[in-house]
Amino acid sequence: MDSIFNLSHHDGNPRNSEGSFVRLNDGRILFVYTRYRGDSWHDHATADLAAKFSADNGRTWSSEDTILLQNDSLNVMSVSLLRLQDGRIALLHLRKSAFEGEGGGVDCRPWIHFSSDEAQSWSPAIDITKLPPSYLVVNNDRLIQLKNGRLAVPVSFHRFRNPNGEKFEIDSRSIAVYYLSDDGGQNWRESKDFVLPLSHKISTGYQEPGVIELSDGRLFSWFRTSDGAQHGSFSEDSGDTWGTPFRAHQFPSMSSPLSMKAHPETRELFAVWADIDPRWNITPQEGSWRRTPLVMARSTDDGKTWHAHRMLESEPDHGYYIAMLFTDDNALLLAYCCGGGKGSTVLQDLRIRRIEL
């Protein structure tokens, strides 16, 4: 039986979403997520980064909300937590702020902090892109460190449009770029390549990229698309250059994210996504954003084939976003948005599920 912990929205807290896990040295698990306050659940609304703790490998969680990072801008969201090879903890998040001047608009970019005292305190934030006003999206739980020590952040770059000559708008189409650091996150540079969609007919472009290091050292990156499936690309030089993208037919989905991680001991891959394969016999309803059902699959050959598909959530009017952590007692923790249906939207409610492996 899976253990489930829900973080549901309520008055004054209209949304809880998009988190990430890390294990602390005292054995507890820290989960950080975006906790909205006020009346609005929208992506640019007021929110803080809040923390929950588990002392029993994710079976139960602390009842109190601990504010880890107070909002000092329009919005902070999309957390990645990662234990680094040097022992520090990295915390990456998006920060959204308004910029003035001709056109005006919202700047969105990833910032990173580090902790050397087990999340008791955090270093000043580092702007990893150092670009002029831009709209750069990083999904939650996306920061990775390669075997060679390099840090990699997959980013979707959305251009600004000014169709009426008055105010900038964000183009929903994006391309994928990668920010890399070879000095523990103090300095960052953009990858030599960016990844363009296979076709201009893909109305989303390549949104919400993720990346994983395979057992042979290659990187595999995947992209959310409107093409009925995830698309993918490989890198053979730790993320600097990328091969021609392809349609990853193993992951049928429609404009929804995928998450993938390797078991730390067996290196078996686990993927979780909103699988629209007809075999599930579920017709998404209005309000699900076609992000249902939620399915997990496993691979023992670096993603060439996938097996043991398991449907985790099947509500036709709900939808899901995912974070993953393997525990030290052979379980997998998933945290995902689970809203939808009557009285809420996909992104408003959060669920933590513990799965025995």
The pLDDT assigned to 347 comes to 86
**Nearest C-alpha neighbor of 257 from the set 140, 146, 169, 176:** 140
The whole-number pLDDT of residue 317 equals: 65
Low-confidence stretches of the chain (pLDDT < 50) are none
Residue 13, phi then psi, degrees to nearest 5: -135, 75
- Annotated domain spans of the chain: 3-356
Stated pTM of the model: 0.95
| Predicted pLDDT of residue 102 | 62
- The span from the CA of 240 to the CA of 181, in Å, is 11
- The DSSP-derived string for 189-211 is EE-S--B--S-TT-TTBSEEEEE
φ/ψ of 204, rounded to 5, equals -85, -15
Q: What is the CATH number of domain 3-356?
A: 2.120.10.10
Residue 101 has a pLDDT of 64
